[in-house]
A = this chain, B = another copy of it.
C-alpha cells in the first residue's frame, strides 16, 4: 500500500521543485508520475531536443528518495509536429478532422504517427532506461479519452481492408459471414468495404462490429509498439498504462496483455454524473460518488494483469470536466483511497500535486491549491498515510487480493453489440453489468470480474449479465464449472449473436442453449414506461424493464421458476443454471442473488443503504457512502475491536478490522 502523486515540474519554477519534493515526503508519498504531456518542452522545435530540464527534475526527485513513474508524452503531439504531419489526425464519423488545440489528436492507425511515437519513446527510453529512480513507465495517457478510439482517417480506412483480409481470408468468406446478399451489399474485393459511416440508414451491423474490433486492435498495436520500444531500449521495470472509468470503446483485456500493471484514473464524482442512475440517486451521492462505481472498476482492472493494479489518478477534490463539479464531502478522499487498497491496489496516486491556475484544467483540484498552499484533501492524505502503517502492523505480509466466491463476466464485445443494435431504448449493457454488480455488493459480497476467456475454476457463483456473443468454447468452460459445483446465472440477450453478428442457427441463446435449456422465440422490447410485473420464487414482487425474451414453450428443457403476471416465463432453471428472460430491476436482482447464494452456500451480509464491505486477506473494510451515519450489521461487529473506525460509520466513514 503505497501513495503516489502526479507532478508536472515543467509547470512550476525550478526554484519550487525542492520544496515540492520535501512536501511530498511529508505527505507520505513514495512515487511520482512525471513526463506525460511534456513533448513541447522535450522537443520545442522539430529535432531540437531538450532533456536537460527533465534530467534535473528526475535528479531532484530521485535524490530525495522518491520513485518515479515516467510517462511517454505521445498523448499531446506538439503544434510543429501536427503542422508537418497533418495526416496523423483522427477523423470523426462526420468526416471532420479532430485537430490540434487540446489533446489526443492522433489516429491510432496512422503509420506516420506510429513512427513519430516510436522515435520519441525510444529517445526517452535511451536516456532514462537505466535510471534506478525510475521504477515504472507509463505508456501514453488515458487511451480513448474524449471518444478517440473510433477514427475514420484515410490511414484507418486504408488499413481496415487489410485487417479484414487477415480475418476472413477470402471475399467470399466475408460475404457469407456477413450475409451481404441482403440489400445487395455484396463486395468483390476487400477494399470495397467502406468504413460504416455516412450510410442512408443504419449500416450493416457486422461491418460495424468488425470496425470496432479493428479500432480496438489498433490501440493494442499502438500500445504494443510503445512497450516493445521501451523494452528494446533497455527498460526492464514495470510498464503500466492508466485506463479510465466507463470507457468501453476498446478491449482493455487485449491492451493489458502487453502491460505488467493495469492502472486506472478514479474520479467518482464525474463518473456519477456520466452514469445511468436516476436524478435522485445522483443528488443523494453528488458529493460522494456512487458506492459501486470505484469498486466495479477496481475489480475490473484487477482482472487485467494477473491481479497487479494501481489507481494512477485519484480525485483529490472538485474537478473541472463534469457538467456540475461538486466538492467531495469531507472524508471522501480518504475513503476512496482506502477502498482502492481494500480491493487490492498496490498504489494510490493522487492527481495532481498542485492545481494549475491556467489552461483547461484550472478548476481541477490538487493536493495543493494554485498558490501552493495546502488544499482540503491534504489532511485526509496524512490520515491515510498513518492508517496504512496501522494496517501494515496488523497484517504485515498482506497478499494481493484472493479469489472471490462470485465471478461476474464482463466482455467489451457484448457492450458493442448492444450499442450496434440496441433493439430496445436505453438498453445499455454497461449499465446492466453495473446493476448486477451493485446487487451482489449490496449483499456484502466480494466479486471478481472475469473476461469471457478467463478460467472459471473455483467460483461458487458465476454471473453473466449480458454475454451477447457466446461461443462453444465458453459454453464448454461454463459446463465444466457447473459440473464442478458452480451455480451459473445468465441474463437475457446472452448467446443471442454469433461471432459474426448473426442470429445463431439454433436461435438464441445459441451456444448457451444446452446449458440454459431454453430457446428464445422472440423478443418483447419494452419502451420506457412498460414494466411488466413478476413474482420471484421468494415472493418478492419485481418487474422487468427494457427487455423481455419470450420463450419457445415447445423447446423448453428448463424448469420455470418465476413468471410475469401475463404468464410469460421470467426465471428458469436447468441443472444449476438460472436464466433470466428480462432486464430485472435492482431490488429483484438482490433478491435473486440472495437465493442463488443460499443454494451454493455463500454467506451474504445485506448492507445498510450506501455501505459497502470488502475483504483483503485478513483485513475487513467497511465504507459509508451515505451522507448520513450508518451502523455495521451486528453480525459483522468484530469481537476484538477496530484498527480504524467503529461500528458507527459517520458519513464518509471507514472502518477496518481483522477478520476473526
A21 within 8 A of B: no
Contact of A527 among B96, B203, B286, B358 (CB under 8 A): B286
The reply to whether B522 and A376 contact each other, CB–CB distance below 8 Å, is yes
The reply to whether A502 and B358 contact each other, CB–CB distance below 8 Å, is yes
Give the contacts of A510-529 with B (CB-CB under 8 A). 521-529
The reply to whether B83 and A192 contact each other, CB–CB distance below 8 Å, is yes
Residues of B within 8 A of A182 (CB): 11, 37, 356, 358-361
Given that A79-B187, A369-B507, A527-B283 are contacting pairs, would A360 and B99 also be in contact in the complex, using a CB cutoff of 8 Å? no
Contact of A523 among B96, B327, B503 (CB under 8 A): B327
The reply to whether B96 and A184 contact each other, CB–CB distance below 8 Å, is no
The reply to whether B97 and A198 contact each other, CB–CB distance below 8 Å, is yes
A10 within 8 A of B: yes
A180 within 8 A of B: yes
The reply to whether B178 and A359 contact each other, CB–CB distance below 8 Å, is yes
The reply to whether A102 and B201 contact each other, CB–CB distance below 8 Å, is yes
Q: Convert A457-472 into 0s and 1s, putting 1 for each residue whose CB lies closer than 8 angstroms to a CB of B.
A: 0000000000000000
Given that A102-B202, A102-B204, A105-B200 are contacting pairs, would A318 and B522 also be in contact in the complex, using a CB cutoff of 8 Å? yes
For the complex formed, measure the closest distance between the CB of A593 and the CB atoms of chain B, giving whole angstroms: 27
Given that A73-B184, A357-B179 are contacting pairs, would A146 and B424 also be in contact in the complex, using a CB cutoff of 8 Å? no
The reply to whether B98 and A95 contact each other, CB–CB distance below 8 Å, is no
The reply to whether A146 and B529 contact each other, CB–CB distance below 8 Å, is no
The reply to whether A181 and B99 contact each other, CB–CB distance below 8 Å, is no
A538 within 8 A of B: no
The reply to whether B503 and A424 contact each other, CB–CB distance below 8 Å, is no
A2 within 8 A of B: no
A64 within 8 A of B: no
Residues of B within 8 A of A77 (CB): 184
For the complex formed, measure the closest distance between the CB of A157 and the CB atoms of chain B, giving whole angstroms: 12
A96 to B200, CA, bound (A): 11
Residues of B within 8 A of A10 (CB): 181
A425 to B83, CA, bound (A): 35
Residues of B within 8 A of A529 (CB): 279-280, 282-283
Total interface residues on A, using CB and 8 Å?
Answer: 112
A474 to B273, CA, bound (A): 38
Give the contacts of A522-549 with B (CB-CB under 8 A). 522-530, 546
A179 to B260, CA, bound (A): 34
Among listed A40-48, A248-256, A637-645, interface-contacting one: A40-48
A362 within 8 A of B: yes
A470 to B504, CA, bound (A): 56
For the complex formed, measure the closest distance between the CB of A363 and the CB atoms of chain B, giving whole angstroms: 6
Contact of A283 among B282, B530, B550 (CB under 8 A): B530
Q: Convert A191-207 into 0s and 1s, putting 1 for each residue whose CB lies closer than 8 angstroms to a CB of B.
A: 01010101111111111
Contact of A103 among B44, B103, B183 (CB under 8 A): B183
The reply to whether B184 and A76 contact each other, CB–CB distance below 8 Å, is yes
A519 to B198, CA, bound (A): 49
The reply to whether A148 and B279 contact each other, CB–CB distance below 8 Å, is no
A621 to B178, CA, bound (A): 45
The reply to whether A198 and B524 contact each other, CB–CB distance below 8 Å, is no
Provide a sorted-by-A list of 15 A–B residue pairs whose CB atoms are within 8 angstroms: A10-B181, A100-B194, A101-B198, A102-B183, A178-B359, A179-B359, A282-B529, A318-B522, A318-B525, A324-B526, A326-B527, A355-B503, A358-B502, A370-B505, A375-B522
Question: Which positions in A face B, CB cutoff 8 Å?
Answer: 10-11, 37-41, 44-45, 73, 76-80, 83, 90, 94-105, 145-146, 148, 178-188, 192, 194, 196, 198-207, 273, 279-280, 282-283, 286-287, 317-318, 320, 322-327, 355-363, 365, 369-371, 375-376, 421-425, 500-507, 521-530, 546, 550
9 additional A-B pairs beyond A37-B183, A102-B200, A326-B526, beta carbons within 8 Å, are A37-B182, A79-B188, A101-B199, A102-B202, A146-B200, A320-B423, A324-B423, A324-B528, A326-B524
The 5 tightest CB contacts between A and B, nearest first, are: A179-B358, A182-B359, A40-B184, A101-B199, A357-B503
